[in-house]
Amino acid sequence: MLDDADIEKVVEGVMLASFFNTGQVCTEASRLLVPSELHDRIAKEIGKRASKLRLGDPFSDPDLGPLTTKEQLQKVLYYSQLGKEEGANLEYGGYENKGYENKEKVKKGFYFPPTVFSNVRPDMRIAQEEIFGPVLCIIPYEGVDEAIDIANGTPYGLAGAVCSTNIERAMDVAREMRCGRVWINTYHVFPPDAPFGGYKESGIGREHGIIGLREYQEIKHIIRG
């Protein structure tokens, strides 16, 4: 998010961007970069909002359901503990089946609460490695150039987003981001005709739309002398 972003919309948007499908989405927003002067306010607001998310059986219409396997639950728990060891601040979550009225019920499944870390350094493992669970890392930055460097400073480049009330400014930042899809003031919107794919370790090539169809074409180049 840029310093002119609508904070209320950012906080609400993060609930979808980071915790949709219990974070088990390839385009999940696992990092949130915020101006350092807004960091503490944003972290508290997001932690408070995350605490209101309901965890439970998918058939009970919760906000978050279970993780897919016991092994994945253990992986997410490992990274949650690692975040604390690395020195990040735990704003909310971080433990299995804690803080929920239905905690006895969710013990029967592979549940993990929405977890929010603040004051995360870009080089921490929780900010560099793929957790694939409901874990959000809030990273402070000092200027837009630093934010772009942090955004591009991972092995992955599938998707990202820019939040700003100035669309031209947001577009300038989006153009500098090394990822295959950039949302502006929204997230998890997938137009069927838009190509989808990533940079770096997030894959080669694109699917969907005209660009995706070209992956199946054989191109012939005839040169006449």
Q: Provide DSSP, 14-40.
A: HHHHHHGGGG-STT---EEEEEGGGHH
Residue 218 in domain: no
CATH of the domain at 48: 3.40.309.10
CB atoms within 10 A of CB 168: 7
Q: In the 8-state DSSP scheme, what is residue 216?
A: T
Residue 216 in domain: no
Residue 59 in domain: yes
Residue 209 in domain: no
User: What Å distances lie between residue 37 and 2, 7, 198, CA to CA?
Assistant: 11, 13, 31
Provide the residue range defining the domain that includes 120: 7-188
Residue 199 in domain: no
Residue type at 183 in one-letter notation: W
Residue 212 in domain: no
Number of domains in the chain: 1
Residue 60 in domain: yes
**Tens-digit pLDDT string for the chain (225 aa):** 999 999 999 999 999 999 999 999 999 999 999 999 999 999 999 999 999 999 888 888 999 999 999 999 999 999 999 999 999 999 999 865 454 445 555 567 888 999 999 999 999 999 999 999 999 999 999 999 999 999 999 999 999 999 999 999 999 999 999 999 999 999 999 998 999 999 999 988 999 999 998 888 888 889 999
Q: What is the model's pTM?
A: 0.91
58-104 tens-digit pLDDT: 888 999 999 999 999 999 999 999 999 999 999 999 865 454 445 55
Residue 34 in domain: yes
